[in-house]
Structure 1
């Protein structure tokens, strides 16, 4: 694989942060109900609410900028 991926954004001292709404996950890692997407070589996490709201775009494999 030629692309370099980066770890998901982390809030200071907190778990993962939703790339869409900014919700912070409790614990060290994102919950299993969160969505992970790789866009332009960056790994983005989306909370359950954002993923459910934009499920058709997710299934169509549209980048999050199109949501």
Structure 2
């Protein structure tokens, strides 16, 4: 689970039900990871991004990958 940027971070979303996932960018809530969402591990914390945010920020996401992943 994650929280919005500027939130408590580390394991955020403690007030949320277990199994609920929150988009780290816009706050959209889903019951469990959605198959079309993007998952990222940043500073040891797993973050999920909804379809809309994934599409909008795709270049920034790809820009962080090593060229071997392209």
Verify same fold: TM over 0.5: yes
> How many residues end up aligned between the 2 structures?
53
Query: Could you state the TM-score of these two structures normalised by the residue count of structure 1?
Result: 0.68
Name the structure where strand makes up a greater proportion of residues: 2
The answer for unaligned runs of 5 or more in structure 2 is 3-12, 66-70
Aligned to 1:34: 37
SS in 1 for 2:35: coil
Query: Could you state the TM-score of these two structures normalised by the residue count of structure 2?
Result: 0.65
The answer for unaligned runs of 5 or more in structure 1 is 1-7, 63-67
RMSD: 1.9
Following TM superposition, where does structure 1 have runs of at least 4 consecutive aligned residues deviating by more than 4 angstroms?
Answer: none
Aligned to 1:65: none
